[in-house]
Amino acid sequence: MLKRFPVVPMTLALLALSLPASCKPYCGELANAFGPFDYRTPPPDALHLVESAHYTEDVAQGVRGNTSTVGGDLDYTLRAFPNHAPALATLAQVALRTKATTLPGANYAVECYFERAVRFQPDDGITWGAYGQYLYRLGQRGRALPLLEKAAALAPDNASLNYNLGIAYAAEKRYDRAVAYAKKAYRMNIPLAGLRNTLVAAGQWDGKVEALPANADEAAR
């Protein structure tokens, strides 16, 4: 399920923090001609204005761009709304599918958009989770785990974040933590059986959680 890419020497977030204040951040300034706006609390009409032109259904599915390339439209969306969670998910999907570190038409490397998102709104657990999942799916588990932990701490009631952290802990064989986060996610009725099945196979699941839906499928996240 996971695809492996060359390991980046250090996180872009840490690199940005290590630069002198007089230097521009490695992944660019956040100032933008339109925005930047918080995706969670967008100004009236701003989100529709951006999405209707740059985050159409075709862009969201990674099929084709609308005003330029998929990368160009995602770039516009993520400069206006750096923590636009669906656009970040599309970015990761396209990058992983095409094995690209930079999408054609984009101004920054793929990872930069995640760094910009968490730099813009460091209290947004969803974007920390998206960043962590992207790194995890690259095969960079050591870098991903702290980000997934931060995501779950910021948004403790989000079932997907708890589930993804449980997956990461299970991969590290830290089963006590994996079980704790699995139970939390399943109590919130997440319809994914993969984590439970992993823990059952490892002999770590006691079954003391409400049953999952009969047709629950594991999604490749």
pLDDT of 24 reads: 53
**Residues 62-111: tens digit of each pLDDT:** 999 999 999 999 999 999 999 999 999 999 999 999 999 999 999 999 99
CA distance linking residue 128 with residue 183, whole number of Å: 21
CA distance linking residue 162 with residue 34, whole number of Å: 34
CA distance linking residue 38 with residue 92, whole number of Å: 20
pLDDT of 210 reads: 55
If residue 5 lies in a helix (H) or strand (E), which one and from where to where? none
pLDDT of 5 reads: 34
pLDDT of 183 reads: 95
CA distance linking residue 26 with residue 13, whole number of Å: 9
Q: What angle do CA 94, 221, 118 make, to 5 degrees?
A: 75
Give the up-direction half-sphere exposure of residue 208: CA atoms within 13 A in the CB hemisphere.
Answer: 4
Q: What is the full DSSP assignment across 35-99?
A: ----TTSPPTTHHHHHHHHHS-HHHHTTS--SSS-HHHHHHHHHHHSTT-HHHHHHHHHHHHHHT
Q: 12-155 has which fold?
A: 1.25.40
Q: Residue ranges of the chain with pLDDT lower than 50?
A: 1-23, 211-221
Q: What is the pTM of this model?
A: 0.83
pLDDT of 145 reads: 98
| Domain map (residue ranges) of the chain | 12-155, 156-221
Q: What is the full DSSP assignment across 180-220?
A: HHHHHHHHTT----HHHHHHHHTT-----SPPPPTT-----
CA distance linking residue 111 with residue 118, whole number of Å: 11
